[in-house]
Amino acid sequence: MERAIYNMSQVNIHPSWNNVLKDEFEKSYFTELTSFVRDEYKKGEVYPPGSQIFAAFDHCAYDDVKVVILGQDPYHGLKQANGLCFSVSKEVRIPPSLQNIYKELQTDLGKEIPTHGDLQHWAEQGVLMLNATLTVRKGQAASHQGKGWEEFTDSVIKLLSEEKTGLVFLLWGNYAKRKGEVIDREKHLVLEAAHPSPLSAYNGFFGCHHFSQANQYLLLQGEEEIKW
């Protein structure tokens, strides 16, 4: 793990992102961040596994990005986090927020609710599933906030907004909405709703129809729709 986070050439990340983010990786804040994360993995249990820290970038190449979903923190429970926001490995129980995402998907597109919570197939179709913070201590939510990850992911969002056109950004909850303020809404479709957690899903997430709206927009851009 230490080598993977300390030496960016060893990280599991699609080569297209390495080229695009090369300058970001060389900034002083990122050097400090990698040192902090390396030490955290040495001292205790940190999620996701080191090889999956950049899974969002590994399973969705820069050139393939069509949709961006913004999350906040990785899951901090045992074996939950797999590097994709809202997603969990197949053998892990589906978390409440993802259960609500599936319910909305069923209402919106008539999809059957999956039996597992692994969303890698979304990522492989061009959905960048980006948490604001890419690592977390076991059992300690938000424990890696304010260490540099937010600056890194802000830069990713700004880069996508500036360098691409016709993307769909799904911003669920106030945190994601604030983080998405840098997005150029004349070039991209930005869809906002309440967070899908049980505490807020009934306040505007259920019934948002973001999945069908995203696909309709992609088709207008001449892109293939996402098989959600």
**One of 73, 108, 118, 154 is an active-site residue; which one?**
73
Amino acid at 109: L
Q: How far apart are CA 68 and CA 123, in angstroms?
A: 10
At what angle are helices 149-163 and 28-43 packed, to 10 degrees?
130
Q: Is position 73 annotated as part of the catalytic site?
A: yes
Local structure of 188: helix, strand or coil: coil
SS3 per residue for 156-176: HHHHHHHHCCCCEEEEECHHH
User: How many other CB atoms are there within 10 angstroms of residue 110's CB atom?
Assistant: 8
Query: Phi/psi of residue 45, each to 5°?
Result: -85, 125
Integer angstrom CA distances of residue 133 from 79, 166, 224 = 17, 25, 29
169, 189 Cβ separation under 8 angstroms: yes
Between the two ends of the chain, the Cα-to-Cα distance in Å is 32
Residues classed as catalytic: 73
